[in-house]
Amino acid sequence: MEKLASTIQTTPIVTFTIFLLVIFIIPPLFEKIKVPGLVGLLFAGVIFGADGLGLLDKNSESIKLLADIGKIYLMFVAGLEIDLDDFRKNKNRALTFGSLTFLVPLIMGTLVGLSFNLGLNASVLLGSLIASHTLLGYPIVNRLGVVGNESVVITIGATIFTDIAALFVLAICVAIHGGEFTITSLILQLTTLGVYSIVVLYGFDRAGKEYFRRTGDEESNQFLFVLLAVFLASVGAQLINVDKIVGAFLAGLAVNDVVGNGPVKEKIEFVGTTLFIPCFFVATGLILNLSDYFANFSQNILLTIAITVTLLISKFIPTILIKYLYKYSWDQTLTMWSLSLPQVAATLAAALAGINAGLLPEYVFNPIIMLMLITSVMGPILTSKFAGNLFAPEIDNNFIKPIEEAKKEERINLVSNSYKPTYDQSFSVLVPIANQSNSGLLVKIATIIASHESGSVIPLSIVKAHIHMDAPQLDAALHKSNKLISTALEDSQSSPIPIKTITRIDDDIAEGISRTAKENQSNLMIIGWSRNYTIKARLFGNLIDKVFWASHCPIAVTKLVDDPSKIEKILVPVKNIHLKSLHVIRFASILADSNQAHLTLFHVYDLSMSKRQIKRFSARLELAMTEIAPHINFEIKKIRHNEPAKAILHTANKYKFDLVILRSVRRRTGESHPSSMSDVTTQVMQKLNQSFIIFGEPH
């Protein structure tokens, strides 16, 4: 067994394979028992490390490389995901919270060190160790869609302050211990960091914008440019004696404006969140040496308890101060607290450096490791619990008022901001037509929506271009296209709304659809659903995926099994309350109002939701519906179920709904197209016998 373990540890390809198996298998298992998957990766590291099966060596160069890349990626993605407008608005609050959540733990940690006779210099370093924090809970708030909530924004902003400050304290303490510290060296270090930050934030931003402008749609080279920027910034940080995670975070902020919310950003985040960041968590689990800790249990237990309790209290005090200073809710306060608890990256780096320099005694390392274990488990679990009560920033406590004001003052249609007529044009619905089986029904439902909005319908047929415009095949395709449009319009000839037909020749069907929609300033696109399981579609995406990428307006992917005018009962599953959910509800209310149909808003909640959370969710959903469409006949159904797809299918069949409207949830992928449907949406539409619409908005 030892020989096998030794062989595995020294074979990088086997090590990497084990990492992939762990990342693939462990998180879903832990999530089934309502524990964040990230915690599962930490436990997996312990199991496969020296205290477990011994298959992975924490000192392996390949593992160190994966861990470093994951740590860099974690901080980079955190910087990349920050809404810079929100960050600029809240930079003073982020600085205030960062100062408090650093100074309070620093002071209290120093007192703990002095009480255990560590000496002043070592005690100050101990205090700085617990003053920093690592954003282990970031993937959780990102998944919950509350990254833009002000409490999360200022906590992310505070992270960079605490980590930089902790690493500076480390440098000063080590210099004092070695007799090399001077005021001149401190000023020089601060000056160097200031210059470095300006170079990264402004230099990378300008260079990135210029490079993206010159390369156009060359996503591969743009992806490589961003990766190069991240690692250049990390290397640069190390050259000025600052930890590489600081450079990664600054690089994320620098290229934030450059990549926007486009495909390059999706590819970057896919690579990180799918591979490298999970590798970092597994590698962190490998460091947790429990056997040494329990071997010296009596020596370590008091210091561990003192450090852990001090951390929990000292991180809680600043959040309480911020709560009353800025009038935050308890959910926001506790989310900030839980996000600032985990001690991993900067803490580990500083602790190892302090011990290697002889500043900290070796017996301090085990309590620090136990602190990392406790906070690494506790932080994500608490974040998952408290952040689940938050709402996206535009939906927080007064979310109805801004929407209502916009409706009165700017006459913005709530289905989407993209629904707002532009260039003084009226509301229009574009309907790409591809076959006779469903084109008539698509035009009919488009007519229903356009009539409600006093708009027009644009049936569109795309003909694939040929090299020669006089090719007989092109003439035949144009004739077939015109015939197809005429057939689709047969049931809509008596409609009073304007209908403008377009036949377009284009090299690419998806691009032709998107371009025509933009040229005609369409406010909505209704496109027919088609199953496409070919290898090419799986690799490069089908037509729907590609249109989702490029479209400037909302898209309703539609499968109708009957005449849309016969729709009497509409089911709309609602997972969270934010503007995109309200857009789907508004879209559903148009159909309900046009057909005098009954609208049911359906919420599936799991065992982790408290009665208070369920009641609060229902109240806000009812308030939103009342404001959006007060005259619509609607109800709210709630059900507790661990599998939302099964609950939706059961309800749709049991109560015989005519139409189910699902929201498209864009999953971040690293392929050449987005998976525009979430797992739940995919499961539902594959087994649903009723008509359905998948409503999605431009990226």
Contacts 24+ apart (CB under 8 A), 200-204: 200/233, 200/236, 200/247, 200/250, 200/251, 200/254, 201/250, 201/253, 201/254, 202/254, 203/254, 204/229, 204/233, 204/251, 204/254, 204/255
How confident is the model over 71-83, as a mean pLDDT?
A: 73
Are 142 and 291 members of one domain? yes
Are 565 and 552 members of one domain? no
Are 384 and 408 members of one domain? no
CATH code for position 673:
3.40.50.620
Q: Of the candidates 539, 558, 577, which is a domain's last residue? A: 558
pTM over 0.85: no
Contact present, 100 and 309 (Cβ < 8 Å): no
Contact present, 391 and 577 (Cβ < 8 Å): yes
pLDDT of residue 2: 55
Report which of residues 45 and 391 the model is more confident about: 45
Strand pairing partners for 105?
none
Are 323 and 280 members of one domain? yes
**Domain assignment present for 26:** no
**What is the rounded average pLDDT for all residues in the chain?**
76
Q: How many Å apart are CA 145 and CA 381, to the nearest integer?
A: 17
Are 432 and 350 members of one domain? no
Are 348 and 484 members of one domain? no
Q: Which helix (H) or strand (E) holds 547?
A: helix 543-550
**Domain assignment present for 33:** no
**Domain assignment present for 46:** no
Contact present, 138 and 245 (Cβ < 8 Å): no
Are 468 and 487 members of one domain? yes
**Domain assignment present for 45:** no
**Domain assignment present for 4:** no
Q: Tens of pLDDT along 566-591? A: 888 999 888 877 667 788 888 888 88
Q: CA geometry: angle at 230 spanning 83 and 15, to 5°?
A: 115
pLDDT of residue 627: 76
- What's at 499, amino acid-wise? I
Are 459 and 440 members of one domain? yes
pLDDT of residue 295: 64
Are 589 and 612 members of one domain? yes
Q: CA geometry: angle at 663 spanning 662 and 668, to 5°?
A: 135
> Scanning the structure block, which residue is given the tokens 């005098």?
596
Instruction: Classify residue 33 as exposed, middle or buried by CB count within 10 Å of its CB (0-12, 13-18, 19+).
Output: exposed
Are 454 and 322 members of one domain? no
Q: Is the dihedral of CA 587, 593, 595, 599 positive or negative?
A: positive
Residue positions counted in the chain: 699
**Domain assignment present for 19:** no
Q: Tens of pLDDT along 138-158? A: 777 776 667 777 888 888 878
Q: Tens of pLDDT along 440-498? A: 888 888 888 888 888 888 888 888 776 667 677 777 777 777 777 777 777 666 677 88
Q: Of the candidates 558, 576, 597, which is a domain's last residue? A: 558
Name the residue range of residue 496's domain: 421-558
CATH code for position 263:
1.20.1530.20
* Per-residue tokens: 388: 């689940």
Work out the pLDDT band at 320, boundaries 50, 70, 90.
Answer: very high
Q: Is the pLDDT of residue 424 over 60?
A: no
Are 353 and 425 members of one domain? no
Are 531 and 573 members of one domain? no
**Domain assignment present for 48:** no
**Domain assignment present for 23:** no
Q: How many structural domains comprise the chain?
A: 3
